[in-house]
């Protein structure tokens, strides 16, 4: 079973993706901010991370991504950025995100298909 970490502060999206991925047979862990996300990455060793950019607290999604890519034990975990910021794709990809989706242009089904595709490759 693949383990996915969702780093997202929106409670509705947390619940929505929790239900969807659990129904599909995935083990989904959720972090509500960047610091909690980094702690869970180290603890859970997920197969893939879904990462929002705008997060509460001292670390945004770019900070999380930079920390992941600097850590030899974590740098190979694929990261899908799922955010409202359409303008930040280039920055996310330069830091090391494998893919980038804009929430307003994306359905939950599209996210699931992207995750499944990323896990197969």
Q: What is the pLDDT of residue 2?
A: 96
The share of the chain scoring above pLDDT 90, in percent, equals 97
The secondary element (H helix, E strand) that includes residue 15 is: helix 11-23
Range of the domain at 58: 3-120
Tell me the per-residue pLDDT of 47-80, one tens digit each, with 9 for 90 and over: 999 999 999 999 999 999 999 999 999 999 999 9
pTM to 2 decimal places: 0.97
Tell me the per-residue pLDDT of 9-19, one tens digit each, with 9 for 90 and over: 999 999 999 99
Rounded CA gap, 61 and 22, in Å? 24
Residue 74 Cα to chain centre, angstroms: 13
Give the count of domains, the chain.
1
Q: What is the pLDDT of residue 121?
A: 84
Partner residues linked to 116 by β-bridges? none
CATH classification at residue 22 = 3.40.50.2300
Beta strands in 1-121, from DSSP E residues, in sequence order: 3-7, 27-31, 48-51, 79-83, 99-102
């Amino acid at each position: 079973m693949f383990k996915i970490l969702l780093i997202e502060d929106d409670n509705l999206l947390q619940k929505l993706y929790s239900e969807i991925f659990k129904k599909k047979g995935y083990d989904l862990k959720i972090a509500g901010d960047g610091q909690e996300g980094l702690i869970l990455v180290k603890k859970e060793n997920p197969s893939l991370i879904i990462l929002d950019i705008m997060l509460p607290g001292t670390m945004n999604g770019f900070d999380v991504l930079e920390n992941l890519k600097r850590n030899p034990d974590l740098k190979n975990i694929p990261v899908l950025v799922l955010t409202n910021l359409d303008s930040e794709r280039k920055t996310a990809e330069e830091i090391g995100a494998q893919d980038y989706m804009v929430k307003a242009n994306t359905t939950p089904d599209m996210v699931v298909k992207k995750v499944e595709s990323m896990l197969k490759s």
